[in-house]
Structure 1
Amino acid sequence: MIREVVLSLPFEGLWLARNSPARRVPSHGTDLLGERYAIDFIGVDHRHRTADRRDWRTFLATEPAERFFAYGRPILAPADGVVVGVHDGEIDHVGRRSQLTLVPYALGQVARLRQGIAAIAGNYLIIALRDGGAFVALVHLRAGSVRVALGEEVTTGQPIAECGNSGNSTQPHVHVQVMDSPDLSVAQGIPMAFRRFRERPRGARHPQIRESGLPGEGAVVEPLPVPEPFEAP
């Protein structure tokens, strides 16, 4: 088994952690598609809101993806590596916060799984990490936003796509997972952590700085610059 892989958070700004492996494993309730240690991040504003408004649609209907702060935000390469998997062209769905729309959507989960990986992952990128042996997947990307091609080398922090709401997603977010194979149909999940970020745990009044770790469920995180190595004069 490959040891824990440490990544950079694949974005800038404030994001809310959901389905964190810090809460439970498998984090998404399944080992399928390499998801055992996956984590979701939802873009928020300084008030920790996921969308710019609440109205009758929020409670009774679907909502345009554009009203969610995560939608269209840049997604960055979380590590150095080579692109070994690319899928684009899946549509971005409307958002669903209303229980009236979430229940029938949940009932369609099995049917989406039968349709294949694209119906679940939507638009995605898979990067073979430079150190070898592990692959990171970034999932639910915005249609038409992928900026890199198969075989292209990427560096940490490089803009590679935008956050979307494609695939099995009820509101715009980015799903991150590390795996032992680039083939989602057979991949097994690998534990991961993120380097240097500010975290405000759910219910806490003050944030804390973590040099490395996994955000807790419901925590709001913000990546921080990694200090340059000190060199003696």
Structure 2
Amino acid sequence: MQEALDLAFPFHGRWLVQNSPADRVPSHGTTAFASSFAIDFVPVDAGGRSAPVRFRTLVVTEPPQRFPGFGREVLAPVEGLVVAADDGQEDHAAHRGLPSVTYALTQGRRAAAGWAALAGNHVLVQTRPGAVVALCHLQQGSVDVRVGEVVRVGQEVGRCGNSGNSTEPHLHVQALDRVDVEQARPVRVTFLGSLPRTGEAVGA
């Protein structure tokens, strides 16, 4: 088994862990696109909450700007070379409650369009041979690095958005063994030496 790639947390503030490989593998219910060990982080307020849930939340979509973490800084979790950077995709409405069911029914169409359609706006950082870190669902127009640039740990690379296959603003992180995501194998990750579980709040 390949040694896990240890990362820094790619953000400031409090974030809620979702779909952690500490709880199940594949973490997102599929092995497609080398996502077996992917993990999601949802930005929350000081009380550990995302956007408040109201009756309208259950029946209609919501603008991503309503969420406290939309636009929050996303940082490089590792030093390395930027090998891909995309921020041209639109931040779409958030889907919770009944709208999330309808949105789930269209996931196959997005998957058929390829990994980039699922990832939305993203940055890929190659840290060593056989290790590429993907930061996904970034805010449109927020990517602050370019292909060929060397980034340091903690450097801002973009902002949290709701692009790609995303029901609410969050950050999807996964590691791969090569730049070509379609052909890549997943690489296990840890954060500061451990792997948080689903439902755990992390960060300052």
CA–CA distance in structure 1, aligned partners of residues 53 and 108 of structure 2? 30
Question: Does 2:63 match 1:56?
Answer: no
Q: Letter of the aligned partner of 1:15 in structure 2?
A: W
Select the structure with the greater relative contact order (CA < 8 A; seq sep ≥ 6): 2
1:47 deviates by 1.0
Query: What is the CA distance between 1:117 and its match in structure 2?
Result: 2.3
With structure 2 as the length reference, what TM-score do the two structures score?
0.96
Cα contact 1:85–1:125 (8 A) shared by 2: yes
Are the equivalent residues in 2 in contact too, given 1:90–1:118 (CA < 8 A)?
no
- Structure 1: tracts of 5 or more residues without a match: 196-211, 224-233
Superposed displacement of residue 116, structure 1: 2.3
Q: What displacement does 1:114 show?
A: 1.4
Taking only aligned residues, the RMSD between alpha carbons, in angstroms, comes to 1.1
The separation in 2 between residues aligned to 1:77 and 1:173, in whole angstroms, is 15
SS in 2 for 1:213: coil
Q: In the alignment, is the contact (CA less than 8 A) between 1:142 and 1:161 conserved in 2?
A: yes
Total equivalences in the alignment = 204
Percent identical pairs in the alignment equals 47
Note the alpha carbon deviations across 1:202-231, whole angstroms, 9 max, x for none: xxxxxxxxxx200011000015xxxxxxxx
> C-alpha separation between the residues in 1 aligned to 2:56 and 2:64?
12
Higher Cα radius of gyration = 1
TM-score (norm 1): 0.85
In structure 2, the residue matched to 1:14 is: 14
Matches within 5 A, 1:1-233: 2-51=2-51, 53-98=52-97, 100-129=98-127, 131-195=128-192, 212-222=193-203
Q: How much has 1:170 moved relative to structure 2?
A: 0.3
Q: Name whichever of 15-24 and 106-115 sits farther off.
A: 106-115
Q: Unpaired runs of 5+ in structure 2?
A: none
Q: Partners in 1 of 2:191 and 2:155 — Cα distance?
A: 16
- Give the drift of 1:45: 0.9
Query: C-alpha distance in 2, partners of 1:66/1:88?
Result: 17
Secondary structure of residue in 1 paired with 2:89? coil
